Amino acid sequence: MVNATHLTQTLIAALAALLLGLQLISCSGPRANPTTPAQDATARLQAIPAADPAKYASMRSKAWRNPYLIIRSDGVALLDVRNSEERRLKPEEVLDTLARLPANSWPYGRVVAIEETAASSGSDKIAIRRIKGIVAGTLEDVHVAINWMPSP
C-alpha cells in the first residue's frame, strides 16, 4: 500500500511540475513582433505628412490622386482613379490596406476622398450609414482626414 500511495503522489507531483513548466514556456516565449497589425498600420499612416488642404480644397473626383474610397451597402471599395478599377474591402480591412499603399499615393498628405453609393432600399441606406460610421471613425482615430465627395 505504501508503495502505491508513494507512486501516485510522485506521478501527481511530476504531472503538476510538467504543467507548470508548460505554462511558463507559453507565457514567456519569444515574441517576434509585440505590436498588433492595427498599431503597425497606424504607425505607417502617421509617417505620411498631415493633410494639406491647400493642395486639394477645390479638387474634383476625377482629378483626385490620393486614396479614394466608395462606401457601398456591402462594404468599401478602394478606387484606382487612373483606370477606374475598384478593390473591394471589408470595413475592418480599410486601415491596413491604406497603410500598405506606397508613399507616392499620398500627394495631398494624410487625406482620403470618400463618396457613398446611392441606396436603392431602406436596408441599403442603413448598411451604408453603418459602414460609413465604421470607416469614418476608424480614419479619424488615426488622424486621416476625410474629403467627402458628392455622390455621382
98 is a domain residue: yes
| Residues 7-33 pLDDT 10s | 455 545 544 444 444 454 444 444 444
117, 73 contact by CB (below 8 A):
yes
Residues 50-67 have pLDDT tens digits of 999 999 988 777 789 999
9 lies in a domain?
A: no
> Is residue 54 situated within a structural domain?
yes
Q: The domain containing residue 125 runs over which residues? A: 37-148
In a domain, 42, yes or no: yes
Instruction: Judge whether 113 and 67 are in contact, CB under 8 Å.
Output: yes
pTM (whole model) above 0.95 = no
The reply to whether 30 falls in a domain is no
Question: Does residue 5 lie within any of the structural domains?
Answer: no
20 within domain boundaries: no
Q: How many domains does the chain have?
A: 1
User: Mind listing the pLDDT tens digit for each residue in 84-118?
Assistant: 899 999 999 999 999 999 999 999 999 999 999 99
Structural domain contains residue 127: yes
**What are 89's three cell numbers?**
474591402
Could you tell me if 85 and 151 are in contact, meaning their C-beta atoms sit under 8 angstroms apart? no
> Which among 98, 106, 100, 101 is positioned nearest to 48, based on CA atoms?
106
